[in-house]
Amino acid sequence: MPMDARHYGRPRKRARAAAGIALAIGATLLTGCSSEEGPPTLTWYINPDDGGQATIAQICTDQADGAYTIETSLLPSDAGAQREQLARRLAAGDDTMDIMSLDPPFVPELAEPGYLAPVPEDVAERTTQNVVEGALTGATWKDKVVAVPFWANTQILWYRKSVAEAAGLDMSQPVTWQQLIDAAAGQGKFLGVQGARAESMTVWVNALVESAGGAIVENPDAPADEIRLGLESEAGTQAAEIVSAIGKEGLGGPGLPTQTENTSMIQFQGDQGSFMVNYPFVWPATNAAVEAGTLPAGLIEDIGWTLYPQVNAGEDTAPPLGGINLGVGADSKHQDLSYQAIECIVSPENQSLYFTTNGNPPANTDAYNAPGISDTFPMAETIRESLELSKPRPQTPYYNEVSTGIQQTWTPPSAVDPATTPATSSEFILAVLKGEKLL
């Protein structure tokens, strides 16, 4: 087995080399030369992006001027998988969890067992000024700020101007889901929604329920067996009516039961695109495709945007809220430095930089005033407005159960029945929370 033996030798050699380095460092320490030690390294667990977080890590490392170095470590692309990784590491008492990029719905689950280091009051005060309300709610657990809002995502309504015009819709005024359904049905076009059995389904249902004035979870900070759901209500029924109408009439297109943010964008860009609720990434992605020549040049001109549709005409819409908050692990050895670093990361300048380079909208309203933003994102003002109205998903430690329960009972959209689905999904989720049913 010469081949294997050779490869096997390599790690051993490396280990020996590492031991040598360790000895050398030890020796210098013994001679009192502690300046050789270097600044502490903070590990920042980031969700995948277009390199923006790594850039900001570098900027803040430079600005810290030797106080600390930030290193990034990548999490999976799926939000649920990110949570798994973080929760497992935190539960294992990993002391390298210095800074973590957290999806807001999962903050309570990590805050409740004390996995997050408390945010120092002064830091909390400085970093939450001018932060949009939804993002702040997403960073709060039991009336305490437990994480620092970094950026906030929201869905807006994208539309094809030609389709809206043909339907006679005045897009400068708020539109309702019913109007969109009628317009798409009338012209044989497809509505862009996310109907896949995935987190995006919960995002949609939550936005519909909240827009109708309800809430999926009425007492989010209750223990598992005392949680009350608000699905069996007028709001829940209205939400089910909309999902069901789009599903049953085939308005979401044939791909609806597996439709994600990306696939609904592709459908929207095509001939049958009409209206779509989706995140701002649509804009750079569509521009890139037009530049690459795979989409017609006229497409960009035909795309308009406005606020997320209303459920009841005249009642404020409650667009979905996403984004990332930054938390510090309770077992981190450098909590103070980590919060210093976080303050640097979430500075309005870095937030606007992140917006223009990576397309992730700032949580801080100040950051929208930066020059150049409206060139890259002409819809920046709509995004800011949408964020002000946005409502987070239920902030409960059992979010995973609630969300998966909704995904399983509200998909495929064509099987949703306004008369029964809200009740079935309520019963199902409550049984799961009580540990009486499998998920």
Partner 1 sequence: MSTSVEAKRGAAPAPKPAKPRLSDRARAERRLGLWLAGPAFIIMLAVTAYPILLALWDSLFKYRLTAPDDRAFIGLGNYGVILTDSVFWRDLGVTLLITVITVAVELVLGFALALVMNSALKAVRGWLRTAILVPYGIITVVSAFAWFYAFDINSGYINHWFDWVPGISPDLNWFADGPTALFVIIASEIWKTTPFISLLLLAGLAQVPGELTEAAEVDGATWWQRMGRVILPNMKAAIMVAVLFRALDAFRIFDNVYIMTNGAYGTEVLSLLAYRTSISRLEIGMGSAISVLLFLCVIIICFIAIKLFKVDLTGARGGN
Partner 2 sequence: MKSSPVRRRVTWTIISIVVIVYALFPVASILATSFKIPSDLTSGTFLPNTWSTTNYEEILVGDAQDLFLSALRNSIGISLIATFVAVVLATLCAYAIARLDFPGKKLILTTALGVSIFPVISIVTPLFNLWRNIGLYDTWLGLIIPYLSLTLPISIWTLAAFFRQIPWELEQAAQVDGATTWQAFRKAIVPLAAPGVFTTAIIAFFIAWNDFVYGISLTSTDAARPVPAALAFFTGASQFEEPTGAISAAAIIVTIPVVVLVLAFQRQIVSGLTQGAVKG
Q: Does residue 331 contact residue 114 with C-beta atoms inside 8 Å?
A: no
CA 220 to chain centre: 19
CA atoms of 88 and 85, how far apart (whole Å):
5
Which residues lie across from 144 on neighbouring strands? 141
Q: Give yes or no for residue 51 binding partner 2 (CB under 8 A).
A: yes
> Dihedrals φ, ψ of 52, to 5°?
-65, -40
CA atoms of 386 and 278, how far apart (whole Å):
12
Site for partner 1 in 112-171 (CB under 8 A): 112-113, 115
Nearest distance from C-beta of residue 238 to partner 1, angstroms: 25
Site for partner 1 in 251-270 (CB under 8 A): 254-258, 263, 266
Please identify which residue in 41, 55, 73, 312 interacts with partner 2, judged by CB under 8 A: 73
Please identify which residue in 149, 392, 397, 405 interacts with partner 1, judged by CB under 8 A: 397
Nearest distance from C-beta of residue 245 to partner 1, angstroms: 18
CA atoms of 289 and 287, how far apart (whole Å):
5
* Listed ranges 12-20, 138-146, 382-390, 429-437: which one lies at the site for partner 1 (CB under 8 A): 429-437
Nearest distance from C-beta of residue 204 to partner 1, angstroms: 16
CB nearer to partner 1: give 87 or 185: 87
Residue 438 touches which of partner 1, partner 2, none (CB < 5 to 8 A by kind)? partner 1
Nearest distance from C-beta of residue 322 to partner 2, angstroms: 9
Which structure tokens are listed for 298?
A: 């006229």
Nearest distance from C-beta of residue 152 to partner 1, angstroms: 25
Q: How far apart are the first and last CA of the chain?
A: 48
Q: Give the amino acid at 224.
A: A
Q: Give yes or no for residue 150 binding partner 2 (CB under 8 A).
A: no
Q: What angle do CA 365, 367, 373 make, to 5 degrees?
A: 115
Q: Give yes or no for residue 289 binding partner 2 (CB under 8 A).
A: yes
Site pattern 187..216 for partner 1 (x: CB under 8 A):
---------xx-------------------
Q: Give yes or no for residue 436 binding partner 1 (CB under 8 A).
A: yes
Which structure tokens are listed for 348?
A: 């309005």
CA atoms of 99 and 376, how far apart (whole Å):
29
Q: Give yes or no for residue 48 binding partner 2 (CB under 8 A).
A: yes
Q: Beta 99-102 vs 321-327: how paired, if at all? A: antiparallel
Cis peptide bond N-terminal to 412, omega within 30: yes
Q: Does residue 330 contact residue 110 with C-beta atoms inside 8 Å?
A: no
Residue 186 touches which of partner 2, partner 1, none (CB < 5 to 8 A by kind)? none
Task: Name the residue among 140, 51, 40 with its Cα closest to residue 95.
Answer: 40
Residue 197 touches which of partner 2, partner 1, none (CB < 5 to 8 A by kind)? partner 1
Please identify which residue in 359, 392, 413, 422 interacts with partner 2, judged by CB under 8 A: 359
Which residues lie across from 44 on neighbouring strands? 72, 99
Q: Give yes or no for residue 425 binding partner 1 (CB under 8 A).
A: no
Task: Name the residue among 70, 276, 106 with its Cα closest to residue 175.
Answer: 276
Nearest distance from C-beta of residue 261 to partner 2, angstroms: 4
Residue 369 touches which of partner 2, partner 1, none (CB < 5 to 8 A by kind)? none
Q: Where are the alpha helices (DSSP H) in 65-99?
A: 79-91
Return the DSSP state at 392: P
Which structure tokens are listed for 200?
A: 């995006």
Q: Give yes or no for residue 285 binding partner 1 (CB under 8 A).
A: no
Q: What share of the chain is helix, strand, coil (3-state, %, to 5)?
A: 50, 15, 35
Q: Give yes or no for residue 386 binding partner 2 (CB under 8 A).
A: no
Q: Give yes or no for residue 292 binding partner 2 (CB under 8 A).
A: yes
Contact footprint for partner 2 (CB under 8 A)? 1, 4-5, 7-8, 10-11, 47-51, 73-78, 81, 85, 88-89, 91-92, 260-263, 265-266, 279, 281, 284-285, 288-289, 292, 294-295, 358-359
Contact footprint for partner 1 (CB under 8 A)? 80, 84, 87-88, 91, 109-110, 112-113, 115, 196-197, 254-258, 263, 266, 397, 400-401, 404, 411-412, 435-439
